[in-house]
Amino acid sequence: VALEDALRGALAREQLQLHYQPQVDHQGALVGVEALVRWQRADGQTVAPAQFIPLAEQTDLILPLGHWVLTTACRQLAAWAGQPRWQRLAMAVNVSARQFHHDGFVDQVLQVLEQTGAPAERLKLELTESILITHIDEVASKMAALKARGVGFSLDDFGTGYSSLAYLKRLPLDQLKIDQGFVRNVLTDANDAAIARMVIALADTLGLQVIAEGVEQAGQRDFLAHHGCQLYQGYWFGRPMPLAALQDWVAQHD
Ligand code: G
Ligand code: G
Ligand code: MN
Ligand code: NA
Protein backbone atom coordinates (compact mmCIF):
# COMPACT_ATOMS: atom_id res chain seq x y z
CA VAL A 1 0.00 0.00 0.00
CA ALA A 2 2.88 2.39 0.75
CA LEU A 3 4.35 1.79 -2.69
CA GLU A 4 0.93 2.18 -4.25
CA ASP A 5 0.38 5.58 -2.60
CA ALA A 6 3.86 6.67 -3.59
CA LEU A 7 3.20 5.67 -7.19
CA ARG A 8 -0.07 7.57 -7.17
CA GLY A 9 1.85 10.61 -5.94
CA ALA A 10 4.55 10.13 -8.55
CA LEU A 11 1.96 10.19 -11.26
CA ALA A 12 0.48 13.40 -9.89
CA ARG A 13 3.88 15.05 -9.44
CA GLU A 14 5.30 14.00 -12.80
CA GLN A 15 8.09 11.90 -11.35
CA LEU A 16 7.74 9.42 -14.16
CA GLN A 17 9.91 9.52 -17.25
CA LEU A 18 10.01 7.65 -20.49
CA HIS A 19 13.20 6.08 -21.70
CA TYR A 20 13.56 5.02 -25.31
CA GLN A 21 15.36 1.90 -26.51
CA PRO A 22 16.55 1.77 -30.15
CA GLN A 23 15.12 -0.75 -32.59
CA VAL A 24 17.36 -1.26 -35.63
CA ASP A 25 17.23 -2.93 -39.02
CA HIS A 26 19.67 -5.21 -40.82
CA GLN A 27 22.12 -2.38 -41.44
CA GLY A 28 21.92 -1.22 -37.84
CA ALA A 29 19.90 1.85 -38.83
CA LEU A 30 17.42 3.16 -36.30
CA VAL A 31 13.83 2.35 -37.35
CA GLY A 32 12.01 2.88 -34.09
CA VAL A 33 12.13 2.94 -30.32
CA GLU A 34 10.35 1.18 -27.49
CA ALA A 35 9.10 3.54 -24.79
CA LEU A 36 9.81 2.19 -21.29
CA VAL A 37 8.60 3.94 -18.18
CA ARG A 38 10.96 4.87 -15.32
CA TRP A 39 10.11 6.14 -11.86
CA GLN A 40 12.61 8.46 -10.22
CA ARG A 41 11.60 8.98 -6.59
CA ALA A 42 12.09 12.32 -4.85
CA ASP A 43 15.09 10.86 -2.93
CA GLY A 44 16.73 10.09 -6.26
CA GLN A 45 16.11 6.37 -5.97
CA THR A 46 14.86 4.68 -9.13
CA VAL A 47 12.13 2.08 -8.89
CA ALA A 48 12.25 -0.52 -11.63
CA PRO A 49 9.10 -1.05 -13.70
CA ALA A 50 9.31 -4.77 -12.92
CA GLN A 51 8.47 -3.68 -9.38
CA PHE A 52 5.75 -1.12 -9.95
CA ILE A 53 4.04 -2.21 -13.18
CA PRO A 54 2.70 -5.45 -11.65
CA LEU A 55 1.53 -3.44 -8.65
CA ALA A 56 -0.18 -0.89 -10.88
CA GLU A 57 -1.79 -3.76 -12.77
CA GLN A 58 -3.34 -5.11 -9.58
CA THR A 59 -5.10 -1.81 -9.03
CA ASP A 60 -6.72 0.60 -11.43
CA LEU A 61 -3.57 2.73 -11.22
CA ILE A 62 -2.47 1.13 -14.47
CA LEU A 63 -5.20 3.16 -16.20
CA PRO A 64 -3.87 6.66 -15.43
CA LEU A 65 -0.31 5.34 -15.68
CA GLY A 66 -1.00 3.81 -19.09
CA HIS A 67 -2.67 7.03 -20.19
CA TRP A 68 0.36 9.05 -19.09
CA VAL A 69 2.74 6.73 -20.97
CA LEU A 70 0.65 6.83 -24.13
CA THR A 71 0.26 10.61 -24.02
CA THR A 72 3.95 11.22 -23.36
CA ALA A 73 5.03 8.81 -26.11
CA CYS A 74 2.58 10.31 -28.60
CA ARG A 75 3.69 13.85 -27.80
CA GLN A 76 7.21 12.77 -28.63
CA LEU A 77 6.05 11.11 -31.81
CA ALA A 78 4.25 14.30 -32.83
CA ALA A 79 7.38 16.36 -32.10
CA TRP A 80 9.39 14.10 -34.42
CA ALA A 81 6.91 14.46 -37.29
CA GLY A 82 8.57 17.46 -38.90
CA GLN A 83 12.18 16.31 -38.46
CA PRO A 84 13.69 14.39 -41.37
CA ARG A 85 15.87 12.01 -39.34
CA TRP A 86 13.08 11.27 -36.87
CA GLN A 87 9.80 11.41 -38.72
CA ARG A 88 9.85 7.81 -39.93
CA LEU A 89 10.57 6.21 -36.57
CA ALA A 90 8.00 3.93 -35.01
CA MET A 91 7.11 4.37 -31.35
CA ALA A 92 6.35 1.09 -29.55
CA VAL A 93 4.29 1.42 -26.38
CA ASN A 94 3.57 -1.41 -23.93
CA VAL A 95 -0.05 -1.97 -23.07
CA SER A 96 -1.07 -3.99 -20.03
CA ALA A 97 -3.94 -6.45 -20.01
CA ARG A 98 -6.12 -4.42 -17.67
CA GLN A 99 -5.57 -1.32 -19.74
CA PHE A 100 -6.43 -3.05 -23.01
CA HIS A 101 -9.55 -4.74 -21.61
CA HIS A 102 -10.87 -1.53 -20.12
CA ASP A 103 -14.02 -0.32 -21.90
CA GLY A 104 -12.62 3.03 -22.88
CA PHE A 105 -9.32 1.80 -24.34
CA VAL A 106 -9.99 2.36 -28.05
CA ASP A 107 -11.45 5.80 -27.46
CA GLN A 108 -8.56 6.69 -25.18
CA VAL A 109 -5.97 5.84 -27.84
CA LEU A 110 -7.87 7.73 -30.54
CA GLN A 111 -8.28 10.71 -28.25
CA VAL A 112 -4.56 10.78 -27.39
CA LEU A 113 -3.68 10.61 -31.07
CA GLU A 114 -5.97 13.50 -31.81
CA GLN A 115 -4.86 15.61 -28.85
CA THR A 116 -1.17 15.16 -29.55
CA GLY A 117 -1.33 15.15 -33.32
CA ALA A 118 0.85 12.04 -33.44
CA PRO A 119 0.73 10.07 -36.71
CA ALA A 120 -1.19 6.85 -35.96
CA GLU A 121 0.85 4.91 -38.56
CA ARG A 122 3.96 5.37 -36.42
CA LEU A 123 2.39 4.14 -33.19
CA LYS A 124 2.85 0.46 -32.40
CA LEU A 125 1.11 -1.05 -29.41
CA GLU A 126 2.89 -3.99 -27.76
CA LEU A 127 0.45 -6.58 -26.47
CA THR A 128 1.29 -9.72 -24.53
CA GLU A 129 -0.16 -13.15 -25.16
CA SER A 130 -2.05 -12.96 -21.87
CA ILE A 131 -4.15 -10.14 -23.36
CA LEU A 132 -5.08 -12.16 -26.40
CA ILE A 133 -6.19 -15.47 -24.97
CA THR A 134 -9.48 -14.40 -23.44
CA HIS A 135 -12.46 -12.64 -25.03
CA ILE A 136 -10.97 -13.03 -28.45
CA ASP A 137 -13.91 -11.41 -30.24
CA GLU A 138 -13.65 -8.30 -28.10
CA VAL A 139 -9.88 -8.24 -28.57
CA ALA A 140 -10.22 -8.63 -32.34
CA SER A 141 -12.75 -5.82 -32.63
CA LYS A 142 -10.69 -3.43 -30.49
CA MET A 143 -7.61 -4.17 -32.56
CA ALA A 144 -9.54 -3.77 -35.81
CA ALA A 145 -10.91 -0.38 -34.71
CA LEU A 146 -7.41 0.94 -34.02
CA LYS A 147 -5.91 -0.77 -37.03
CA ALA A 148 -8.45 1.02 -39.22
CA ARG A 149 -6.91 4.30 -38.05
CA GLY A 150 -3.42 3.08 -38.84
CA VAL A 151 -2.21 1.92 -35.43
CA GLY A 152 0.06 -1.16 -35.53
CA PHE A 153 0.37 -4.10 -33.13
CA SER A 154 3.34 -6.12 -31.96
CA LEU A 155 3.07 -9.32 -29.93
CA ASP A 156 5.54 -8.93 -27.05
CA ASP A 157 7.38 -11.77 -25.27
CA PHE A 158 6.18 -14.16 -27.93
CA GLY A 159 6.42 -17.81 -26.94
CA THR A 160 6.51 -17.29 -23.18
CA GLY A 161 2.76 -17.18 -22.64
CA TYR A 162 -0.01 -19.49 -23.62
CA SER A 163 1.14 -19.72 -27.20
CA SER A 164 -2.14 -20.70 -28.72
CA LEU A 165 -1.34 -20.27 -32.37
CA ALA A 166 -5.03 -19.99 -33.27
CA TYR A 167 -5.20 -16.30 -32.40
CA LEU A 168 -2.32 -15.42 -34.67
CA LYS A 169 -4.40 -15.75 -37.79
CA ARG A 170 -7.49 -14.15 -36.25
CA LEU A 171 -5.92 -10.96 -34.96
CA PRO A 172 -4.60 -8.08 -37.06
CA LEU A 173 -1.02 -8.21 -35.80
CA ASP A 174 1.90 -6.58 -37.60
CA GLN A 175 4.89 -7.95 -35.73
CA LEU A 176 6.09 -10.78 -33.48
CA LYS A 177 8.72 -10.04 -30.85
CA ILE A 178 11.05 -12.93 -30.08
CA ASP A 179 11.33 -12.97 -26.31
CA GLN A 180 14.72 -12.19 -24.81
CA GLY A 181 14.57 -15.48 -22.91
CA PHE A 182 15.10 -17.30 -26.21
CA VAL A 183 17.64 -14.81 -27.56
CA ARG A 184 19.84 -14.97 -24.45
CA ASN A 185 21.09 -18.52 -25.09
CA VAL A 186 20.46 -18.68 -28.79
CA LEU A 187 24.14 -19.51 -29.47
CA THR A 188 24.47 -22.17 -26.79
CA ASP A 189 21.09 -23.81 -26.31
CA ALA A 190 19.79 -25.85 -29.24
CA ASN A 191 16.20 -25.62 -28.04
CA ASP A 192 16.26 -21.84 -27.76
CA ALA A 193 17.86 -21.63 -31.20
CA ALA A 194 15.15 -23.87 -32.63
CA ILE A 195 12.40 -21.76 -31.04
CA ALA A 196 13.92 -18.51 -32.32
CA ARG A 197 14.11 -19.98 -35.83
CA MET A 198 10.55 -21.24 -35.52
CA VAL A 199 9.26 -17.78 -34.56
CA ILE A 200 11.11 -16.19 -37.50
CA ALA A 201 9.69 -18.80 -39.91
CA LEU A 202 6.21 -18.43 -38.44
CA ALA A 203 6.30 -14.65 -38.84
CA ASP A 204 7.43 -15.10 -42.42
CA THR A 205 4.62 -17.56 -43.14
CA LEU A 206 2.00 -15.29 -41.63
CA GLY A 207 3.36 -12.18 -43.36
CA LEU A 208 4.37 -10.51 -40.11
CA GLN A 209 7.47 -8.55 -39.22
CA VAL A 210 9.77 -10.12 -36.65
CA ILE A 211 11.97 -8.38 -34.11
CA ALA A 212 14.38 -9.99 -31.67
CA GLU A 213 14.68 -8.40 -28.25
CA GLY A 214 17.44 -8.74 -25.69
CA VAL A 215 20.25 -8.92 -28.26
CA GLU A 216 23.44 -8.41 -26.25
CA GLN A 217 26.11 -9.83 -28.54
CA ALA A 218 27.05 -9.49 -32.21
CA GLY A 219 26.96 -13.29 -32.49
CA GLN A 220 23.32 -13.41 -31.44
CA ARG A 221 22.44 -10.76 -34.00
CA ASP A 222 24.38 -12.61 -36.71
CA PHE A 223 22.72 -15.94 -35.92
CA LEU A 224 19.27 -14.38 -36.03
CA ALA A 225 20.07 -12.44 -39.21
CA HIS A 226 21.30 -15.65 -40.84
CA HIS A 227 17.92 -17.21 -40.11
CA GLY A 228 15.96 -14.32 -41.56
CA CYS A 229 15.31 -11.99 -38.65
CA GLN A 230 14.73 -8.40 -39.81
CA LEU A 231 14.77 -6.19 -36.76
CA TYR A 232 16.70 -6.08 -33.49
CA GLN A 233 16.57 -4.52 -30.06
CA GLY A 234 18.93 -5.02 -27.15
CA TYR A 235 21.88 -3.74 -25.18
CA TRP A 236 24.22 -4.57 -28.08
CA PHE A 237 22.62 -1.71 -30.00
CA GLY A 238 21.52 0.54 -27.18
CA ARG A 239 19.97 0.53 -23.73
CA PRO A 240 16.75 2.26 -22.86
CA MET A 241 17.80 5.92 -22.47
CA PRO A 242 16.39 9.39 -21.93
CA LEU A 243 15.60 11.46 -24.99
CA ALA A 244 18.80 13.52 -24.85
CA ALA A 245 20.91 10.36 -24.84
CA LEU A 246 18.91 8.97 -27.75
CA GLN A 247 19.72 12.12 -29.71
CA ASP A 248 23.43 11.58 -28.98
CA TRP A 249 23.07 7.93 -29.97
CA VAL A 250 21.57 8.93 -33.32
CA ALA A 251 24.29 11.54 -33.90
CA GLN A 252 26.95 8.88 -33.31
CA HIS A 253 25.29 6.25 -35.48
CA ASP A 254 24.55 8.31 -38.57
O1 G B 1 11.99 -1.18 -18.75
P2 G B 1 12.32 -2.55 -18.28
O3 G B 1 13.25 -3.05 -19.26
O4 G B 1 12.86 -2.64 -16.89
O5 G B 1 10.84 -3.19 -18.22
C6 G B 1 10.44 -4.12 -17.26
C7 G B 1 9.02 -4.55 -17.55
O8 G B 1 8.13 -3.44 -17.42
C9 G B 1 8.82 -5.09 -18.95
O10 G B 1 7.98 -6.24 -18.87
C11 G B 1 8.13 -3.99 -19.67
O12 G B 1 7.29 -4.47 -20.68
C13 G B 1 7.32 -3.34 -18.57
N14 G B 1 7.07 -1.94 -18.90
C15 G B 1 7.97 -0.95 -19.05
N16 G B 1 7.36 0.21 -19.38
C17 G B 1 6.03 -0.08 -19.45
C18 G B 1 4.86 0.70 -19.73
O19 G B 1 4.91 1.87 -20.05
N20 G B 1 3.65 0.04 -19.66
C21 G B 1 3.55 -1.27 -19.35
N22 G B 1 2.33 -1.82 -19.31
N23 G B 1 4.64 -2.03 -19.09
C24 G B 1 5.85 -1.45 -19.14
O1 G C 1 8.56 -7.07 -21.43
P2 G C 1 9.26 -6.14 -22.38
O3 G C 1 9.83 -6.86 -23.51
O4 G C 1 8.47 -4.95 -22.78
O5 G C 1 10.47 -5.56 -21.55
C6 G C 1 11.61 -5.08 -22.10
C7 G C 1 12.63 -5.19 -20.98
O8 G C 1 13.84 -5.76 -21.47
C9 G C 1 12.98 -3.88 -20.37
O10 G C 1 13.10 -4.09 -18.99
C11 G C 1 14.36 -3.59 -20.99
O12 G C 1 15.13 -2.74 -20.16
C13 G C 1 14.93 -4.98 -21.06
N14 G C 1 15.98 -5.15 -22.06
C15 G C 1 16.06 -4.55 -23.26
N16 G C 1 17.16 -4.98 -23.94
C17 G C 1 17.77 -5.87 -23.13
C18 G C 1 18.96 -6.66 -23.27
O19 G C 1 19.65 -6.64 -24.26
N20 G C 1 19.25 -7.47 -22.22
C21 G C 1 18.49 -7.54 -21.09
N22 G C 1 18.87 -8.37 -20.13
N23 G C 1 17.36 -6.80 -20.95
C24 G C 1 17.02 -5.99 -21.95
MN1 MN D 1 7.81 -4.57 -24.66
NA1 NA E 1 9.26 -8.28 -24.40
- 254 assigned to some structural domain: no
Q: Which of 17, 180, 182 to mutate to test the pocket of ligand 2 (most atoms within 8 A of CB)?
A: 180
Q: What angle do CA 212, 216, 220 make, to 5 degrees?
A: 60
Q: At what angle do helices 105-116 and 62-80 cross, to 10 degrees?
A: 30
- Please check whether residue 117 lies inside any domain of the structure: yes
User: Apex CA 136: angle with CA 55 and CA 92, to 5°?
Assistant: 55
Closest approach atom of ligand 1 to CA 36: 16
Q: Is residue 97 part of a domain?
A: yes
21-46 pLDDT, tens digit per residue, is 999 999 999 999 999 999 988 888 88
- Beta pairing partners, 153: 125
CA distance 172 to 154: 10
**216: in domain:** yes
- Return the closest-CA partner of residue 33 out of 95, 126, 116: 126
pTM: 0.96
- Rounded distance, CA 166 to CA 68, Å? 33
117-171 pLDDT, tens digit per residue, is 999 999 999 999 888 888 889 999 999 999 999 999 999 989 887 766 788 888 9
Query: Which range of residues forms the domain containing residue 104?
Result: 2-249
Among 21, 126, 236, which residue has the most ligand 2 atoms within 8 Å of its CB, making it the best to mutate?
A: 21
Within a domain: 70: yes
Taking the centre of ligand 2 as the mean of its atom positions, its distance from the CA of residue 240, in whole angstroms, is 8
Whole-number average pLDDT of the chain? 94
User: What CATH number is associated with residue 103?
Assistant: 3.20.20.450
Does some domain include residue 33?
A: yes
Question: How many domains, the chain?
Answer: 1
Residue 151 domain-assigned?
yes
